[in-house]
């Protein structure tokens, strides 16, 4: 690993994009666009064909009106990100607007939930006592389908195993007015892109890769379920005013370089936390060489650098995609509104990166982290120097990140060329269509047949191995091996629950080519393969269609609209279920400074939401807080012994599992704290990583730094999210300390909380802690959770009515 870090650093020094704190003037700016005709705002264009006739229209007039107010107040040029974000302000007159500092109150256009996170989000919404959702909202069944033997059979098995959860989601969405995409529909982000995303819109989704919709010029942010409940309950969504990182693309993609390589390069530059608190805004002439779905790929993986979201300016490639997906009216409306879908000339950015696409080399990122970026030309030597397993066991393409028609047709072109030389894949090869529409279209147009003939297995239209839903049997757990995917995330054990699996991320093109070589050291740009006739050949550059020439085939209709009469719908929850459980409210704060709290665990190094609340087989308990809490922090590495899920009970002295120890403390009236390292909670938006420690009796999570979504989730559930004022003070807290927190009774914006670490030897350390709570968030803490506060306000309104 050290060898690769040195290699990576030297390669970045040799071809590092230029950086500056402020950048002005880009090739594609608002001044180049036509003025917005007043008649545009009289047009009623449905946000989605799926909801046509329901009165959900694109509201560009609100953005225009808000921006007139904001421009007069700020008196400066605006970035594209600012235009869309500020265009959705709840109170443009009174809202404090300061990048990286103020908390914005926003009104998103819609909400989307995937089935794993939707369970808890809907359970919380039900407990709020409201009759219907306030904005268009959807639930998508994509996370609970395990990849095993192939698409149709895996889907049928999932429907049988998860019937109870699917029945709950189907009845709950019908009861409260949400759209429901049934199992087999496809992955949430692909469905959103095909049906709901639109330029200039704002959406929140209970999945970290919601920014995928930025490929259609939408500000789309991943959030926890409690944030989704706020918006569904007609409460403004709160977001810390994002900074803006401008990425100017020059030149043009060609050959083996793909949109995936743009974000792999950016991830290597910014690292897994470099985008925290910022929107990544792409611009420049190079944008024109990217397809709409390619732009979505780039935005999707912005989650891997911690970005609030990512977005592209409106262009005709987006228009082409909108027309291909039967939304020509939206394309025409966006074209007329384009002045507000581009950055202003002279707009200032907090950081600026330039990438020349003419010179961009394909990259491979990993293993174990999505920001370890290596140019393809140096990857073979990195494999050897770091001792990574050279044999490629499995190559996997598809997922929400790379399953477009263009991706599949380019991969099929590689498979066709290999077939012409008599070759089939040497490694196992899987294909995951992102949606039923993609599956049906590539089945009709022949790409699926080509990939299957090469030896590939087509999986269900679902997340599958990308999120750990993979019943992998070819390698025993604990055996070192290598896989390569076109997915987005590759944390330890992420795909197959095997910590010894070295997972790498690349474009579908590279993944497909490597499958025929069966080796990580194969470079299709320079290396040859031996055909069945014994002759050497080198792959041609991949080719493919951006959009299907014959249009998309919608495939099977898998959408359930909410019924007109919802009064008689009964939500299906069995009181005896081990998968679904009504939520009980958390206790409010007792008004005191806590004392003598055990350190449950001092987590060492990377601690993602996968470490805090594991996925894979645990996904089935996402609607049952008590049961899923048995996975709380079982993947975190204990600084006391370097092991996972083995901690000492500071009351009894016994060593045991994290959840059991936490339960012991809770049941004996001892709240506890977690001590965490840098970027604690990076990764998924799953709020279970906050719900579980709260349920098990946690009081505070204290870290060097937090990932954005996780920090918000902790606050929403009534936990104190605190950081060391001096990050080095992490070292002063010992795993066997008892701690006091002084200053909780005086908690206020920008206040200091003092941690008193009481060591076993009788000595003490007093350590200053800081936080980012505002007045509203402090009210959540005092009430016991944001939901408690919402329910109390609703009850008060009802009493006064």
Q: Which residue has the tokens 């206040």?
A: 751
Identify the pLDDT of residue 273: 87
For residue 305, what are its two tokens?
């650098």
Asked if residue 1 has pLDDT above 60, the reply is no
Distance CA(553)–CA(187), nearest Å, equals 17
pLDDT digits (tens, 9 = 90+) for 109-121: 999 999 999 999 9
Closest listed residue to residue 192, CA positions, set 102, 260, 78, 113: 113
The CB-side HSE value for 252 (13 A sphere, CA atoms) comes to 4
Q: Whole-angstrom Cα distance, residue 135 to residue 137?
A: 6
Annotated active-site residue in 410, 489, 704, 708: 489
Rg (the chain; Cα; Å): 25
Between these two residues, 31 and 177, which has the higher pLDDT value?
A: 177
d(CA 217, CA 364): 27
28: pLDDT confidence band, cut at 50, 70 and 90?
A: low
Q: What pLDDT is recorded for position 639?
A: 97
List the structure tokens of 682.
């990076």
Confidence of residue 796 (pLDDT cuts 50, 70, 90): confident
pLDDT reading at 442 higher than 80: yes
Specify whether the backbone of 632 is left (phi greater than 0), alpha (psi in -120 to 50) or beta: beta
What does the pLDDT look like over 314-349, one tens digit per residue? 999 999 999 999 999 999 999 999 999 999 999 999
> Which H helix or E strand runs over 278?
strand 278-283
User: Which among 213, 195, 89 is positioned nearest to 138, based on CA atoms?
Assistant: 195
The DSSP code sequence of 287-339 is GGGS-HHHHHHHHHGGGGGTBSEEE----HHHHHHHHHTT-HHHHHHHHHTGG
CB 680 within 8 A of CB 702: no
Residue found under tokens 């041609």: 540
Percent helix, strand, coil in the chain, to 5, is 35, 20, 45
Average confidence (pLDDT) over 351-357: 96
Task: Write down the pLDDT at residue 15.
Answer: 34
- pLDDT band of residue 8 (cuts 50, 70, 90) is very low
H or E stretch covering 198: none
Write down the catalytic residue from 46, 115, 154, 207: 207
How far, in Å, CA of 193 to CA of 292, rounded? 10
Residue 241: Cβ within 10 Å count: 19
pLDDT interval class at 427 (50, 70, 90): very high
Q: Look at residue 33 and tell me whether its pLDDT is greater than 50.
A: yes
What percentage of the chain carries pLDDT values higher than 70?
Answer: 96
Res 221 pLDDT > 80: yes
686 counts as catalytic: yes
Tell me what pLDDT residue 318 has: 98
* Residue 741 to residue 425: CA distance in whole angstroms: 59
Mean pLDDT over 729-745 rounds to: 98
Report d(CA 685, CA 709) in Å as an integer: 6
* Residue 489: active-site member: yes
The runs of H, that is alpha helices, within 48-140 are 60-74, 80-86, 115-127
Whether 213 has a pLDDT exceeding 60, the answer reads yes
* 58: confidence class by pLDDT, cuts 50, 70, 90: very high
Mean pLDDT of 242-270: 96
- Helix 316-324 to helix 292-300 angle (10° resolution) is 100
Candidate from 20-34, 159-173, 189-203, 636-650 with smallest mean pLDDT: 20-34
Length of the chain: 801
452, exposed or middle or buried, with CB in 10 Å at 0-12, 13-18, 19+?
A: middle
What confidence tens digit (pLDDT) does each residue in 280-316 have?
A: 999 999 999 999 999 999 999 999 999 999 999 999 9
Q: Does 8 participate in catalysis according to the annotation?
A: no
Contact call for residues 686 and 609 (beta carbons, < 8 A): yes
Which of 88, 99, 140, 143 is flagged as catalytic? 143
Please say whether the beta carbons of 693 and 633 come within 8 A: yes
Structure confidence at residue 7 (pLDDT): 34
Say which of 48, 208, 684, 772 is annotated catalytic: 684
- The question of whether 486 is a catalytic residue gets the answer no
Sole residue written with tokens 């070819």: 474
Average per-residue pLDDT in the chain?
A: 94
Q: Which residue of the set 46, 109, 115, 142 is catalytic? A: 142
C-alpha 465/C-alpha 471 separation (Å) is 8
Average the pLDDT over each of 2-11, 389-398, 710-719 and give the range with the smallest value: 2-11
CB neighbour list of residue 638: distance below 8 Å, 6 or more residues apart: 601, 602, 603, 604, 644, 646, 647, 735
At which residue do the structure tokens 């008689």 appear? 568
Active-site residue identified among 472, 579, 624, 686 = 686
- How far apart CA 43 and CA 423 sit, in angstroms, is 55
pLDDT (tens digit, 9 = 90+) per residue, 76-112?
999 999 999 999 999 999 999 999 999 999 999 999 9
Predicted confidence (pLDDT) at residue 20 exceeds the cutoff of 90: no
Identify the DSSP state of 698: E
Among the listed residues 615, 566, 260, the one whose alpha carbon sits nearest the alpha carbon of residue 404: 260
14 pLDDT more than 60: no
pLDDT digits (tens, 9 = 90+) for 678-697: 999 998 888 999 999 999 99
Q: Are 212 and 400 in contact (CB under 8 A)?
A: yes
- Phi, then psi, of 166 in degrees rounded to 5: -65, -40
pLDDT beyond 70 at 49: yes
Residue owning tokens 């808000």: 66
Burial of 745 (0-12, 13-18, 19+ CB in 10 A): exposed
The pLDDT, as a whole number, for residue 140 is: 98
615-666 confidence digits (pLDDT tens):
888 988 999 999 999 999 999 999 999 999 999 999 999 999 999 999 999 9
- In percent, the amount of the chain with pLDDT more than 90 equals 90
Q: Looking only at Cα atoms, what is the longest distance across the chain?
A: 85
SS3 157: helix
* Cα separation values, 178 from 58, 59, 131, 181, Å: 18, 20, 12, 10
Residue 275 clears pLDDT 70, i.e. is over it? yes
Quote the strand ranges of 15-55, DSSP E: 19-20
Q: Which of 633, 647, 636, 634 is nearest to 603 (CA)?
A: 636
Give the position of tokens 């048995």.
630
pLDDT at 360 over 50: yes
Q: What is the mean pLDDT of residues 566-591?
A: 92
Distance CA 680, CA 696 (A): 19
């Amino acid at each position: 690993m050290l060898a690769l870090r040195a290699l990576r650093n030297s390669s970045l020094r040799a071809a590092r994009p230029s950086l500056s704190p402020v950048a002005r003037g880009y090739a594609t700016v608002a001044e180049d666009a036509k003025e917005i005709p007043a008649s545009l705002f009289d047009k009623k264009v449905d946000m989605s064909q799926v909801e046509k006739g329901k009165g959900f229209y694109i509201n560009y007039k609100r953005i225009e009106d808000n921006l007139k107010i904001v421009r007069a107040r700020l008196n400066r040029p605006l970035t594209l990100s600012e235009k869309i974000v500020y265009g959705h302000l709840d109170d443009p007159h009174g809202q404090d607007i300061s990048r990286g500092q103020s908390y914005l109150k926003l009104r998103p256009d819609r909400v989307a939930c995937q089935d794993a996170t939707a369970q808890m989000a809907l359970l919380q919404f039900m407990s709020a006592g409201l009759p219907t959702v306030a904005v268009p909202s959807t639930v998508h069944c994509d996370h609970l389908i395990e990849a095993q033997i192939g698409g149709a059979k895996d889907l049928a098995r999932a429907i049988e195993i998860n019937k109870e959860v699917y029945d709950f989601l189907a009845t709950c969405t019908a009861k409260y007015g949400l759209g429901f995409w049934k199992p087999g529909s496809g992955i949430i982000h692909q469905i959103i892109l095909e049906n709901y995303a639109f330029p200039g819109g704002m959406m929140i989704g209970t999945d970290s890769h919601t920014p995928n919709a930025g490929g259609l010029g939408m500000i789309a942010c991943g959030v926890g379920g409690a944030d989704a409940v706020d918006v569904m309950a007609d409460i403004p969504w709160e977001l810390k005013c994002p900074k803006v990182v401008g990425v100017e693309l020059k030149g043009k993609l060609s050959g083996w370089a793909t949109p995936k390589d743009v974000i792999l390069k950016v991830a290597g530059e910014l690292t897994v936390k470099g985008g925290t608190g910022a929107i990544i805004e792409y611009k420049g002439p190079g944008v024109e060489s990217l397809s709409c779905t390619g732009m979505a790929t780039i935005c999707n993986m912005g989650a891997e650098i911690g970005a609030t979201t990512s977005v592209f300016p409106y262009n005709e490639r987006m228009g082409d995609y909108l027309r291909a997906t039967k939304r020509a009216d939206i394309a025409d409306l966006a074209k007329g509104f384009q002045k507000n879908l581009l950055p202003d000339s002279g707009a200032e950015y907090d950081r600026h990166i330039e990438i020349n696409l003419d010179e961009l080399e394909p990259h491979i990122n990993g293993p174990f982290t999505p920001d370890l970026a290596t140019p393809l030309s140096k990857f073979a030597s990195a494999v050897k120097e770091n001792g990574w397993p050279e044999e490629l066991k499995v190559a996997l393409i598809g997922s929400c990140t790379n399953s477009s028609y263009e991706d599949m047709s380019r991969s099929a072109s590689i498979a066709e060329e290999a077939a012409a030389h008599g070759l089939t894949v040497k490694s196992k090869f899987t294909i995951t269509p992102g949606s039923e529409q993609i599956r049906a279209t590539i089945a009709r147009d022949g790409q699926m047949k080509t990939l299957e003939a090469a030896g590939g297995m087509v999986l269900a239209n679902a997340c599958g191995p990308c999120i750990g839903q993979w019943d992998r049997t070819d390698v025993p757990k604990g055996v070192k091996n290598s896989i390569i995917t076109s997915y987005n995330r590759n944390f330890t054990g992420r795909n197959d629950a095997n910590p010894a699996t070295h997972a790498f991320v690349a474009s579908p093109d590279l993944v497909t080519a490597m499958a025929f070589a069966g080796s990580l050291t194969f470079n299709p740009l320079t290396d040859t393969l031996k055909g069945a006739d014994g002759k050497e050949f080198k792959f041609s550059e991949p080719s493919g269609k951006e959009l299907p020439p014959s249009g998309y085939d919608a495939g099977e209709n898998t959408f359930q609209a909410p019924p007109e009469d919802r009064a008689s719908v009964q939500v299906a929850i069995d009181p005896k279920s081990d998968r679904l459980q009504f939520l009980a409210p958390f206790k409010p704060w007792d008004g005191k400074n806590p004392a003598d709290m055990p350190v449950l665990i001092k987590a060492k190094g990377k601690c993602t939401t996968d470490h805090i609340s594991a996925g894979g087989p645990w996904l089935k308990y996402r609607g049952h807080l008590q049961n899923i809490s048995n996975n709380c922090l079982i993947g975190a590495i204990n600084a006391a012994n370097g092991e996972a899920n083995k901690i000492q009970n500071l009351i009894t002295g016994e060593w045991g599992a994290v959840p059991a120890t936490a339960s012991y403390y809770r049941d004996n009236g001892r709240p506890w704290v977690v001590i965490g390292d840098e970027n604690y909670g990076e990764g998924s938006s799953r709020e279970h990583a906050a719900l579980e420690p709260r349920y098990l009796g946690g009081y505070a999570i204290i870290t060097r730094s937090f990932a954005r979504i996780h920090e918000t989730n902790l606050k929403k559930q009534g936990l104190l999210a605190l950081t060391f004022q001096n990050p080095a003070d992490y070292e002063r807290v010992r795993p066997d300390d008892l701690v006091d927190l002084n200053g909780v009774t005086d908690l206020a914006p920008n206040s200091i909380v003092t941690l008193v670490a009481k060591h076993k030897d009788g000595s003490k350390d007093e350590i200053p802690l800081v936080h980012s709570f505002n007045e509203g968030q402090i009210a959540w803490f005092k009430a016991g959770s944001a939901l408690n506060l919402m329910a109390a306000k609703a009850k008060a309104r009802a009493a006064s009515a």
